[in-house]
Amino acid sequence: MARFVGFYPCITKSVVASFAGAAIAIVPVGGVAAAVPRSDGVGDQIQTAPGTPDAPEVSALSWTVTDVGSGNLLAAKEPHLRLAPASTLKTLFALALLPQLPASTEHTAVTADISDVAPGSSLVGVKEGTNYTVGDLWRGVFLSSGNDAVHTLARLNGGMDLTLARMQATADKLGAHDTSVRTPDGYDTPGQYSSAYDLSLFARAGLQNPDFRRYCGTKSALFPAAGGPNSFGIQNTNRLLVGSHGVEAYPGLIGVKNGYTSEAGNTLVTAATRHNRTILVTIMNPQDTTANAVYEESRELLDWGFDAAPQAVTAGQLRGSSSPATPRHPEAAHHGAGAAQASTPGNASSGLTRSLEAAVALLSLICVPLVLKAVRRRRNRPTK
């Protein structure tokens, strides 16, 4: 050991700096764990899991592609960008309240149920004096995106404050730290936002609930289902599910939720199953202004997820937020993916450890020949 220490000058400052840089470079960064960032040429990053080809360059400001079965995040663009979610926030509403309200519970609508619905909201047509089951109201939420049905369910749950608190607690429990809840229906409200990453968390958790899965995939229904003079037919507004308005229905589509507001633009969370594999796509605010852009871009990403990305890819697990648990403030509404890690703190630490170990090993490989050379020189040096 003493003899080796005598040759420590071979580890020069330049060598240390080089290997420190190498160690840092080995640690995976970005919104997708172990993903390789690829620039799409407009200043945003598209990230894909190892072993996958380039993902489509769609116009949405933010999107994710997830393998539902494994939880692997296959590809993403700005997954933690905090944006207005529009009615896709109803996935969180359903996730929080479905276990609280039995579907068979009956309720006769009163004026107070819908008195605080914001003007211009999408409505299913809840009418005072009409008898509904909770199941009817959930179909109104998922098929017609009815804010009147949302507010009626919120009152049945104990009121708006309790509902919002339950929604936020549900988001926090899932690690959805990009989400701040101000309304139960997703209507544009100051301080309310979510992200493509968080919406994928809500949808993936929701699909494990048979009621959520059934409601989000229902194409048409009577409202209320029992019929009567106030009953009428409703159809799901998710064009990729039903095939309408020039959009061809996607094979194997399960459904989930679409949305639109003036602030959010178009948003869509959608999932499909093919050969016992389910792919989930979340898209927020396409910049393509054509009417069906959100559906066609989702189609492209679904196709990519099924056909291009290998099933066994080892990407980051969606079992917690890859962004830090920062306080939710409106001024943080544009928190992007670059500040986030897709691994947990423990995984990040172990990754850094492995990287440093690799750097030390490489450093040893360089230094050992220098040490041996110095030893030979000392042995061959003439004695005095």
Could you tell me the two tokens for 124?
């299913």
Measured from the Cβ of residue 311, the count of other Cβ atoms closer than 10 Å reads 14
Q: How far apart are CA 294 and CA 264, in angstroms?
A: 12
Question: Angle 90-97/160-173 helices, nearest 10 degrees?
Answer: 100
Q: How far apart are CA 95 and CA 166, in angstroms?
A: 10
Strands (E), 148-307: 220-223, 232-235, 253-261, 265-274, 277-286
Phi-psi region of 314 (alpha: psi -120 to 50; beta: other; left: phi over 0): beta
- Active-site residues: which are they? 87, 90, 145
Length of the chain: 384
Residues 6+ apart with CB under 8 A from 103: 133, 134, 135, 138, 211
Contact 140, 234 (CB under 8 A): yes
Contact 241, 68 (CB under 8 A): no
